[in-house]
Amino acid sequence: MQRNIKEIISKMTLEEKAGLCSGRDFWHTKGIERLGIPAVMMTDGPHGLRKLATNDLDLETSIPATCFPAGAALACSWDRSLLNSVGTALGKECLKERVSILLGPAANIKRSPLCGRNFEYLSEDPYLSSEMAAAHIEGVQSQGVGTSLKHYAANNQETRRLLTDAVIDERTLREIYLASFEGAVKKSQPWTVMCSYNKINGTYGSENKYTLTDILKEEWGHEGIVVSDWGAVNERADGLRAGLELEMPGSGGEGDKKIIKAVQSGELPESVLDKAVERLLKIIFKAADNLKTDFQCDMNEHHRLARKAAGECAVLLKNEENILPLSKTGRIAVIGAFAKTPRYQGGGSSHVNPVMLDNAYDEIVRTAGTDTEISYAAGYKTDIDKSVFGNKPFVSLSDEPDDALIQEAAEAAAKADTAVIFAGLPDSYESEFFDRKHMRMPEGHNKLIEAVARVQKNVVVVLSNGSPVEMPWIGQVKAVLEMYLGGQASGGAAADILFGDVNPSGKLAETFPKKLKDNPSYLNFPGDKSKVEYREGIFVGYRYYDAAEVEPLFPFGHGLSYTDFEYKGITLDKKVINEDDELQVSVMVKNTGSTAGREVVQLYVSDTKSDVLRPRKELKGFEKVELMPGEEKTVEFRLGKRAFAYYSPDKGDWVTEDGEFRILVGSSSRDIRLEAAVQMRSAVPERKVFTRNSAVSDIMAIPEGREYFMPILKKAFGDSVSEEANKESGSAGELMLAETPVRQFLMYAAGGFTEDMLEELLAILNKA
């Protein structure tokens, strides 16, 4: 419906305009009847709808909805079209419940494996994270339902999330933490972006003009609105000025009063408020126009999609002697209480009341058929605690080893041909609101696996967890299948993979370190009382493990299949590129096994020589291809400037350097199969500015500099001084000389080099 928004704003009172900038209650904006402005509803998110049954806060349950795999799992699919389908289904469920905006996806970078909310987040890599978020957003928004890309930005921990100051250098912020949002904003224009609770370099996410206006709105061109994370507003008028349009939930009119006062006192120009209202109205009317009455969707179909998704996200980490897939005959001991009481989602605001719920045990029995004898032993206890944390259900499970249950499980395992153990992390180990203290699984789970492995040589471990765990037993088991928190159909998907009805194709979207101490943020997580310094800089995840040559337990991008893929014939369409050129890369991938399968072809770019510190390689492309046995396909990538650039804080821009870049294509970050080189010719050759602190080597590198400076060098150090004082290698004396600032020759050449001469030399050099 066409409306004249400017005219509507002109009819609004100051109070109405200020009022529109905060919520009516926990989940709605305010409507203004006399002007035909409706209230719209937004709710969680991200991987399922959590719409509370009433507006009360003290509620354990929400309206039943499909619980899809959590973000940590979804990202392991590396499949844009899958994320799009899940998003589309989520959008439909929102329409069914008359919800206009779904609060997600969550694109914070996994800086540490300890972050309690990693299960909701996508990846340690900004490119993968932003591509997955973009596809999710496109899916939801294809239904006329908005999204809220959250939590912008640098909310990488739960500890003191409302207070802490994330101190991040500009290059790291741009290349890692903002880039994860940037791609998604530019590609798919989420209707809303949710600001984070924390401070970013000294200023709250809710009143940070640099991130909200300068970058998000002006640089990236975000057209929608910024909504506060629930309760993230500090000073409301400062927030509005910085670019925060909507405060959620409302603050009982307190925030509105502050806006009114600021406008009346002249401290806040009314035009700033009008601009915010204009953005708000565009979204509110779009939301209202897209709402449907009596919209229905097929929840059985969504359950099937949830099962397919969980199957595509699962990562086969280890498969010695091809123990998987299991045959549908013989005796299988299914062990672990998670097999019957699944751990399939995380705690906190994303907690969904699932409309259906598979359990792995029943699905295994059904899938294995009548020729398989299946036994079960719990192995550990699942004490479900029905307490409620705030308005969010919270479940805790006992993690103490129970020797009797372990003994019983070992006996069952000993009588079987194979033991399949379901283990991982209970809810009490990871959730919104707190971070993990360590990377271990409960002692009871580890002991169970070890006890079973002592009596049974064929052990398969199926993990349910939201982020990496240490695996002290890894050498004692033949297979590990990482299901993450795979949603309501996770149990069925596990059965599909265990028996080979689905060929696994997930790849890790994060590194699994051997131990917590290997992680680059280890010494600076979660920081002190007031701040957390991101001292590892850009070296997050595999960028660090690669550079420091730390062997991970499982590397970024790793994931096995029941078939094999051969990579051959990499071709680049150009040997030399300018930074504005697009480079096309193509490779052939062939399924050389006897099972149909899907492979994630990963492309990394490596700058072979740089003036700045760069990661050894960075993910810049990926495609998932499906191949029948014997089939081969060409996979193509297009790389633009950003695939080669780093962010230069000095220039305030993305910069490419001249020289060779290597294009690496492979099956994981540590399994590179093909390589090729391309020469970059930067559009604007770097112009050096010479100062009194320029090094002798830089001056001697320029003919005009050499001509002027050589006599001064000789005056200072005698005729034997080398002409080669511009070399990076040489004697200790030459090296020392090469690295000396030119101003020091006022002292070395004592009178033979004066301030006037220095000025003259700099003028010559800066002109040259």
Q: Are strands 330-335 and 146-152 parallel, antiparallel or unpaired?
A: unpaired
CB of 156 to ligand BGC, least distance (A): 13
Residue 546 is among the residues annotated as catalytic for this protein = no
Q: Which is nearer to ligand BGC, 195 or 317 (CB)?
A: 195
Looking at beta carbons only, is 229 or 607 nearer to ligand BGC? 229
Angle between helices 80-96 and 126-141 (to 10 degrees): 40
**DSSP structure string for 605-664:** EEESS-SS---S-EEEEEEEEEE-TT-EEEEEEEE-GGGT-EEETTTTEEE--SEEEEEE
Least distance to ligand BGC, CB of residue 249, Å: 8
Check residue 45 for interaction with ligand BGC (CB under 6 A). Answer: yes
Minimum distance between the CB of residue 44 and ligand BGC, rounded to whole angstroms? 5
Binding mask 86-105 for ligand BGC (x = CB under 6 A): -----------------x--
β-strand partners of 572: 585
* Among 687, 686, 693, 690, CA closest to 762: 690
Q: Which is nearer to ligand BGC, 57 or 768 (CB)?
A: 57
Judged by CB under 6 A, the residue of 124, 125, 175, 229 near ligand BGC is 229
CB atoms within 10 A of CB 356: 15
> Please, what sign has the CA dihedral across residues 139, 124, 427, 490?
positive
- Judged by CB under 6 A, the residue of 38, 40, 44, 439 near ligand BGC is 44
In angstroms, give the least distance from the CB of 158 to ligand BGC: 9
User: Residue with the closest Cβ to ligand BGC?
Assistant: 349
**79, 165, 229, 238: the active-site residue:** 229
User: Strands, E, within 364-503: which ranges?
Assistant: 372-377, 388-389, 392-393, 418-424, 459-464, 479-482
Between 326 and 355, how does the x/- string for binding to ligand BGC read (CB under 6 A)? -----------------------x------
Q: Tell me phi and psi for residue 393, to 5 degrees.
A: -60, 145
Does position 442 bind ligand BGC by CB under 6 A? no
Closer residue to ligand BGC, CB minimum distance, 79 or 229: 229
By beta-carbon proximity to ligand BGC, the closer residue of 155 and 418 is 155
Reported residue count of the chain is: 768
158 binds ligand BGC (CB under 6 A): no
Q: Applying CB under 6 A, which of residues 28, 150, 258, 343 lies at the interface with ligand BGC?
A: 150
Single out the residue of 24, 187, 230, 235 in contact with ligand BGC (rule: CB under 6 A). 230
Q: Provide the token pair at 740.
A: 């000396």
Residue type, 406: I
Size of the site for ligand BGC (CB under 6 A): 7
Closest to ligand BGC by CB, 24 vs 261, is: 24
Q: How far is the CB of 465 from ligand BGC (least distance, A)?
A: 20
Per DSSP, 88 falls in state H
Q: Tell the smallest beta-carbon distance from residue 123 to ligand BGC (Å).
A: 18
Please give the helix or strand (H or E) that residue 671 lies within, else none: strand 671-681
Between CA 316 and CA 324, with CA 321 as vertex, the angle to 5 degrees is: 45
By the 8 A CB rule, do 557 and 505 touch? no
Taking the C-alpha atoms of residue 75 and residue 537, their distance in angstroms, rounded to an integer, is 23
Burial (CB < 10 A; 0-12, 13-18, 19+), residue 767, is exposed
Shortest distance in whole angstroms from residue 49 CB to ligand BGC: 12
Beta-ladder partners of 672: 666
| Nearest-approach distance from CB 132 to ligand BGC, in angstroms | 17
Neighbours of 628 (CB within 10 A): 12
* CB-nearer residue toward ligand BGC: 44 or 238: 44
- By annotation, the residues acting in catalysis are 229
Binding site for ligand BGC (CB under 6 A): 44-45, 103, 150, 229-230, 349
